[in-house]
């Protein structure tokens, strides 16, 4: 069973890109299974920082084939820009190395316009989208009127874009009172992107399954995180796809029989971006310290992330719905110098204590975290190569998270560089 899934165990931004980059050296194929360029994976390699949005982190390994799966929504303009950026820095991204599912849906300029208009209407109830058009693109997908990557192969593709844009412009004008998009230039640009991307289009479900039959090793990379899942997250403050483990099956067209490992990625503390409840959020000097030391600013939007203590109620829920076989703990180094460290082990709701993550987002707003305190450490850990190199208190913190989660921590990140990782 040669497939490994990498899943965010929090509200996204857990450091999945780095973990994918670490494991990609032993993979034959790295595949993205959900989301679009609302994802932002940062990988530091040989002093260079690569910020990837569509393309999996595995692209930095010359022998790895990367796939954009059918569960994604793809912005042709942004993808072409990403290809150009990688090429300018010496990273080859030929059709032999990157394959785009023809079943993935397209994000077009009017989706972005709708995204901005909808958030403006929500006002104080804004979800906090990245304004990348992701939600409107998925909405069209499920309304069965979206355009797919495979439509680029059709000689009638310009007419399809024009028809979709005409409908969208009526909606923008009459519903949102927004300016319509220019028809001619928009269609022409999409045609140019199509010509460039056509060589990359593939039936990726077939390609992946054939590779698995041959014993090739598949690494499945998810975007966002468990609590942004459209079904299992803090709805409506979620994304429009399935970042959870089940999303990998649907988003790549493979069966569960191939899955060997499900790795949940969690920070040593908790962050989230945008609106919605956040029980362990810190708005004091410790929260500010976590944000500054942890460089908690979005790769895609640049927005400051909200920060808080590690929430084990949420993490235990993520373990349950994803079936994690192991965890990767990131940014342990950020906690250095904080003493004591708090960990949320339960919620108090309506005067009663519970360890179950609430069913409704409205209830989560009223949950008060129940904390335990553990001693922190002052020693620098960014150069640690083995678990035994960590200070005893840092080791104890890792063991505590393992015990509460009920899942072993096999990977510990102690800094942003590729080499700053402990593998147990």
The three-point CA angle 183-188-194 to 5° equals 125
Range of the domain at 189: 105-197
- Residues 274 and 309 occupy one common structural domain: yes
For residues 109-124, b (16+ Cβ closer than 10 Å) or e, as one string?
A: bbbbbbbebbbeeeee
pLDDT tens digits, 333-383: 999 999 999 999 999 999 999 999 999 999 999 999 999 999 999 999 999
Going from the C-alpha of 197 to that of each of 104, 200, 202, 329, 374, the distances in angstroms are 13, 6, 11, 36, 52
Catalytic, 111? Answer: no
Enter the pTM of the model.
0.93
Q: Report how many domains make up the chain.
A: 3
The model's pLDDT over 201-224, given as tens digits with 9 standing for 90+, comes to 999 999 999 999 999 999 999 999
Verify that 212 and 252 share a domain, yes or no: yes
pLDDT digits (tens, 9 = 90+) for 18-58: 899 899 999 999 999 999 998 777 777 677 888 889 999 88
Q: Are residues 42 and 118 in the same domain?
A: no
* CATH number of the domain to which 116 belongs: 1.10.300.10
What length is written for the chain? 424
Nearest to 308 by CA among 356, 345, 334, 271: 271
**118 pLDDT higher than 60:** yes
> pLDDT tens across 131-179, in order?
899 999 999 999 999 999 999 999 999 999 999 999 999 989 998 888 8
Per-residue pLDDT at 58: 86
Residue whose token pair is 């072409």: 80
Catalytic residue among 21, 28, 41, 232: 41
Higher pLDDT: 20 or 312? It is 312
Same domain, 254 and 110: no
Give dist(CA 149, CA 168) in Å, integer.
Answer: 19
Let me know: does 66 contact 99? Beta carbons within 8 Å: yes
Please state, in angstroms and rounded to a whole number, the distance separating the CA atoms of residues 81 and 128. Answer: 24
Same domain, 174 and 236: no
Domain boundary among 182, 197, 212: 197
| Average pLDDT value over all residues in the chain | 94
Residue with tokens 């080499």: 419
Considering the domain architecture, whether residues 191 and 330 belong to the same structural domain is answered as no
Catalytic residue flag (residue 229): no
- If asked whether residues 120 and 180 sit together in one domain, one would say yes
Instruction: Map residue 8 onto helix, strand or coil.
Output: strand
């Amino acid at each position: 069973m040669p497939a490994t899934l990498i899943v965010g165990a929090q509200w996204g931004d857990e450091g999945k890109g780095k973990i994918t980059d670490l494991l990609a050296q032993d993979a034959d194929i790295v595949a993205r299974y959900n989301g679009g360029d609302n994802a932002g994976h940062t990988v530091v390699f040989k002093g260079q920082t690569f910020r990837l949005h569509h393309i999996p982190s595995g692209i930095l390994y010359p022998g790895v084939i990367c796939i954009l799966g059918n569960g994604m929504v793809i912005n042709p303009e942004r993808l072409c820009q990403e290809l150009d950026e990688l090429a300018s820095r010496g990273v080859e991204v030929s059709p032999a190395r990157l394959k785009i599912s023809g079943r993935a849906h397209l994000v077009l300029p009017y989706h972005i316009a709708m995204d901005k208009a909808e958030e403006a209407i929500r006002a104080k109830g804004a979800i906090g989208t990245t304004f990348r058009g992701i939600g409107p693109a998925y909405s069209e997908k499920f309304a069965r009127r979206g355009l797919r990557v495979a439509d680029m192969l059709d000689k009638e593709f310009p007419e399809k874009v024009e028809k979709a844009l005409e409908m969208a412009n009526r909606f923008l004008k009459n519903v949102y009172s927004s300016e319509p998009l220019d028809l001619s230039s928009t269609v022409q640009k999409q045609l140019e992107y199509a010509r460039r991307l056509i060589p990359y289009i593939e039936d990726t479900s077939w390609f992946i399954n054939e590779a698995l039959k041959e014993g090739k090793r598949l690494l499945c990379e998810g975007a966002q995180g468990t609590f942004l899942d459209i079904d299992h997250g803090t709805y409506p403050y979620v994304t429009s796809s399935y970042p959870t483990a089940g999303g990998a099956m649907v988003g790549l067209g493979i069966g569960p029989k191939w899955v060997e490992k499900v790795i949940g990625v969690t920070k040593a503390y908790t962050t989230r971006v945008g609106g919605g409840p956040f029980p362990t959020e810190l708005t004091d000097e410790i929260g500010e310290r976590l944000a500054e030391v942890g460089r908690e600013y979005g790769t895609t939007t640049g927005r400051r992330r909200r920060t808080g203590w590690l929430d084990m109620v949420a993490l235990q829920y993520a373990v349950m719905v994803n079936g994690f076989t192991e965890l990767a703990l990131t940014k342990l180094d950020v906690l250095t110098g904080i003493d004591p460290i708090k960990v949320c082990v339960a919620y108090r709701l309506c005067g009663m204590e519970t360890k179950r993550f609430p069913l409704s987002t409205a209830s989560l707003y009223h949950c008060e975290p129940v904390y335990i305190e553990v001693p922190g450490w002052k020693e620098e850990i960014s150069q640690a190569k083995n678990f035994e190199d960590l200070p005893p208190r840092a080791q104890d913190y890792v063991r505590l998270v393992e015990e509460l989660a009920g899942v072993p921590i096999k990977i510990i990140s102690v800094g942003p560089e590729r080499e700053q990782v402990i593998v147990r």
